[in-house]
Structure 1
Amino acid sequence: MAAAPAQAAVTSETAYIFNTFSFLIHGALVLWMAAGFAMLESGLVRTKSVTTILLKNLALFSIAGVTYFLVGYNLMYDGVDGGVVGSLGWWGADDSAALNGDFSAGYAAASDWFFQMVFVATAASIVSGALAERIKLWPFLVFVTVLTAVIYPVQGAWHWGGGWLAERGFADFAGSTIVHSVGGWAALTGAIIVGARAGKYREDGRVAAMPGSSLPLATLGTFILWFGWLGFNGGSQLALGSAADAIAIANIYANTTIASAGGVLAAMGLSQLLNRKVDLTMALNGALAGLVSITAGPDTPSLGMALLIGAVGGTLVVATVPLLDRLKIDDVVGAIPVHLAAGIWGTLAVPLTNGEASFATQALGIVAVGGFVTAVSTVVWLVLKAVMGLRISQQVESLGLDQAETGMRAYPEFNLSSR
């Protein structure tokens, strides 16, 4: 039998090119998730607030880009060295070494900034949907500015920036905690402080159904998010310069997809069991919960374990939604069950398939990040409430945010007075 041919290693320049390409193409997929959030939220809010939710999603992505350039990236990555936070100052690219033939950096600097920036915008998008239909536009955008400039980068520095959580062995491959739970905690504090939509919780204890404007849009948004999530998790391999990296990314894609499928089926089955009907919105959020659940560790499970991890996430969504209603916490799109509950579960699930992670360290990271984000978010929300006011007036809420905030209707041919 002939000997197997020797595998030639790629040159450092070729690895540099492939690593840069991975950051760019996977970052572009994550950027496309912004469209997914916009469509999902537009479909799940009522017709009279669709224009405003679209504007919020466009604005928050733009804010995230600017703040991450001016402050966020360096706070998160520059000189953390096992500590708590990096340095102040805006980010600047330096690829002079590569231009002179030294490819030891591994990738183009701007490709890394771009990939990291689109993750920040994802965290901010989570807050948008939860607080829809009753929060003023400008106070919300001020909160997004603080979230993307300070809150997200500081806690991100603890692990991804090489800070104290990284030193303790905390594991969060693509951000079940660092991205999704952060958005979930910020959304939860905001939902409690802003309060529920008028008429959502009635005096007799019943919960009023407030159907969204378009289930087709919400479904489209979910598929876009599912597609973009492949970049979210796959790109977090942070390299494509070897066969081992290519194999790892392929496994991550497969695990990400099967986890989401598990979330869908679990949510469908449980909603059928509890309500004797299948709830499409639960199935959509089950898909997203499966994605969030696998995000902390998509690189180590088998397909079977990834399916199970995603299925638990989908189950948590169906269980958490009525719990929030009992607590009278109004989450318009289900962001808190999807991103917070499933994010916590996904982070705790990492040691099931990753022998280098421990449940104690994972729990420590969850508590530390949750405590920090909750405390700072609460202060920021309360300051904004005192200075600018958070809640729209009853009259504006009745007419809809679109009339008051933009003067534009998403569906002008419809009579929106009763919606």
Structure 2
Amino acid sequence: MIVFLMQCGFAFLEAGAVRSKNTTNILLKNLLDSSVAGLSYWALGYAFAFGDGTGFIGGSGFFGTFPEADLSKWFFQMVFAATAATIVSGGVAERCEFVAYLTYSIVLTAFCYPVITRWAWHSNVSDGHPSNVGWLIDGVSVIPGAAYHDFAGSGVVHVCGGVAALCGAVLLGPRIGKYDSQGRAVAIPGHSVPLAALGGFILMFGFFAFNGGSQFSISNEGDGVVVARAVVNTIISGSAAGVTTILLHRMFSATKRNCIRHSTWSLLSTINGVLGGMVAICAGANMMHMWGAFITGFISALVYYFGSMLVERIGIDDPLDAVAVHGLCGTWGLVAAPLFIIDGILLSGSRKSAEVLAMNLIGWLAIVIWTAAICLPMFGLLKLCKMLRVEEDIEMKGLDIPKHAEPAYPSEAWGDGWGEFLKATSTGLVTGSSSEATSSSGDKTPQELSYVHHGNGAFQMEVETK
């Protein structure tokens, strides 16, 4: 249940990070991620992930025809699938067609993510037949005796979502105004730091269940210790990443004003840093000492911060830093796990621990290739059919009104009397600065005007309809 609450966290984080004119759009997409994942995972996803079949894909249990004993597992895994899909929404925010969003959400939760789950997490042998076990699992993996180690999904969930977000962002192209005529990135701030902060806190809380719950049991001997270790390591890694990120931003965000260098303490960067640390610890949360979690979080902050700068520098517009937070930090998590776990390379130095690192790299490569092989053609076909990106005028004015007819902050809700004020300003009856500021509205009625927040603290009246 708590993991499902992470959908609320993603919704608030993304709503705060986009401009007010796109708030309804991003919230609806996050809501539908849960709905689409529920139906897709019920119909196809769970069967591909955990049904009887081969080490590559399952082939039974479609449309809920699996044992009732698996219902709790179905719910937990369905929420993981929804998380992978929601990651993508941040990378394609403010410019993606609604139909395109629904399409990739279905494909990701019904097929792309479940097959990866099969490879890495399906270890139940049906009728004693080992071919039913995922090919990354010990005993049938490409390196005999070694297994892919990804306890809570640094690779399975986050690298998958990060690669899908990267594919979408590349084929969509940057938002209008993101880069100037010289190709330099221009900041496009979101409209609500408090909303983004609330979403970040909810996600941090959800990660405790996300990582701790990946043990799938609490009643067997030793389960309690594993769950507790996973939760503690999650907060240690996230905390180390958050503190490191805010210091990095303080060091590298200096700007010149009046010949004096000014550095800032960034809330939004710190939130992403904490989340990146929690993403990175997912792979090894169950078997790390706390010092290992600290190092994992510290390095994940470097990966996130400089990775985000690199993504922006090469011309990829990722409004929520989904590629850096999930894709890059998830990649680091797959490397960190075999390094810092109790029987890992640094503590045991055994050949087996090195083989686990090799298996994690093989698993990472397989996840990247599989996800890209599905998402690039899918987004490319949508682009070819002109169904991927919204029209330029709609992107400029915002998606909320033309696509949903439900602005997140309608002018009528600002308070009693504002309707008459708008009528007065539209006909030039109000004197003083207010009239001067709004005289450009001419004879337009309040219903023809849309207040659009442009990220610089100002609201500008724009025509809502053509």
Give the stretch that moved more between structures: 161-170 or 245-254.
161-170
**Which of the pair is proportionally richer in helix?**
1
Cα distance, 1:243 vs structure 2:
4.4
Secondary structure in 1 aligned to 2:136? Answer: helix
Confirm whether residue 416 of structure 1 aligns to residue 444 of structure 2. no
Confirm whether residue 67 of structure 1 aligns to residue 47 of structure 2. no
Match of 1:175 in 2: 153
Match of 1:407 in 2: 405
Cα distance, 1:304 vs structure 2:
1.4
Secondary structure in 1 aligned to 2:451? Answer: coil
Match of 2:183 among 196, 201, 205: 205
State the distance in 1 between where 2:301 and 2:194 align: 20
The structure having more radius of gyration, on CA atoms, is 2
Say if 1:80 and 1:163, in contact at 8 Å, map to a contact too.
Answer: no
Confirm whether residue 163 of structure 1 aligns to residue 127 of structure 2. no
Say if 1:151 and 1:373, in contact at 8 Å, map to a contact too.
Answer: yes
Cα distance, 1:205 vs structure 2:
3.0
Match of 2:383 among 382, 385, 390: 385
Secondary structure in 1 aligned to 2:400? Answer: helix
State the distance in 2 between where 1:329 and 1:380 align: 19
Cα distance, 1:93 vs structure 2:
4.5
Match of 2:2 among 8, 29, 34: 29
Say if 2:151 and 2:214, in contact at 8 Å, map to a contact too.
Answer: yes
Secondary structure in 1 aligned to 2:190? Answer: coil
Confirm whether residue 302 of structure 1 aligns to residue 296 of structure 2. no
Cα distance, 1:353 vs structure 2:
2.5
State the distance in 2 between where 1:72 and 1:342 align: 26
Secondary structure in 1 aligned to 2:64? Answer: coil
TM-score (norm. length: structure 2): 0.79
Letter in 1 for 2:134: G
Cα distance, 1:116 vs structure 2:
0.9
Cα distance, 1:316 vs structure 2:
1.2
Give the stretch that moved more between structures: 240-249 or 110-119.
240-249
Match of 1:331 among 314, 318, 335: 318
State the distance in 2 between where 1:75 and 1:311 align: 36
Relative contact order, CA 8 A, sep 6+: which one is greater? 1
State the distance in 2 between where 1:417 and 1:259 align: 39
Letter in 1 for 2:451: L
Gapped runs of 5+ residues in structure 2?
Answer: 123-132, 142-146, 254-262, 344-351, 415-449, 455-466
Say if 2:47 and 2:59, in contact at 8 Å, map to a contact too.
Answer: yes
Kindly report which structure 2 residues correspond to 1:67-146, keeping only aligned pairs within 5 A, or say none.
67-81=40-54, 83-87=55-59, 89-95=62-68, 108-146=69-107
Secondary structure in 1 aligned to 2:264? Answer: coil
Letter in 2 for 1:65: G
Confirm whether residue 55 of structure 1 aligns to residue 39 of structure 2. no
Say if 2:12 and 2:198, in contact at 8 Å, map to a contact too.
Answer: yes
State the distance in 2 between where 1:147 and 1:242 align: 33
Q: Deviations over 1:367-415 (max 9, x none)?
A: 1110110111001111122235211111001100111211111111376
Letter in 2 for 1:284: I
State the distance in 2 between where 1:352 and 1:237 align: 21
Q: Deviations over 1:113-138 (max 9, x none)?
A: 11111000000000011100001111
Number of residue pairs matched by the alignment: 379
TM-score (norm. length: structure 1): 0.88
Match of 1:374 in 2: 372
Say if 2:19 and 2:453, in contact at 8 Å, map to a contact too.
Answer: no
Cα distance, 1:92 vs structure 2:
2.7
Say if 1:47 and 1:416, in contact at 8 Å, map to a contact too.
Answer: no
Say if 1:289 and 1:339, in contact at 8 Å, map to a contact too.
Answer: yes
Letter in 2 for 1:273: M
State the distance in 2 between where 1:418 and 1:116 align: 38
Match of 1:253 in 2: 231
Letter in 1 for 2:266: D
Match of 2:129 in 1: none
Q: Deviations over 1:326-366 (max 9, x none)?
A: 11100011111000000000011111133354221111110
Match of 1:196 in 2: 174
Match of 2:298 in 1: 311
Confirm whether residue 44 of structure 1 aligns to residue 30 of structure 2. no
State the distance in 1 between where 2:18 and 2:372 align: 25
State the distance in 1 between where 2:386 and 2:331 align: 32
Letter in 2 for 1:119: F
State the distance in 1 between where 2:2 and 2:37 align: 17
Match of 1:9 in 2: none
Match of 2:248 in 1: 270
Say if 1:282 and 1:317, in contact at 8 Å, map to a contact too.
Answer: no
Give the stretch that moved more between structures: 178-187 or 404-413.
404-413
Say if 1:139 and 1:388, in contact at 8 Å, map to a contact too.
Answer: no
Say if 1:72 and 1:150, in contact at 8 Å, map to a contact too.
Answer: yes
Match of 2:272 in 1: 285
State the distance in 2 between where 1:143 and 1:299 align: 32
Give the stretch that moved more between structures: 239-248 or 69-78.
239-248
Cα distance, 1:159 vs structure 2:
1.1
State the distance in 2 between where 1:239 and 1:305 align: 24
State the distance in 2 between where 1:263 and 1:323 align: 18
State the distance in 2 between where 1:346 and 1:172 align: 9
Match of 2:438 in 1: none
Letter in 2 for 1:194: L
Letter in 2 for 1:401: L
Percent identical pairs in the alignment equals: 39
Match of 1:4 in 2: none
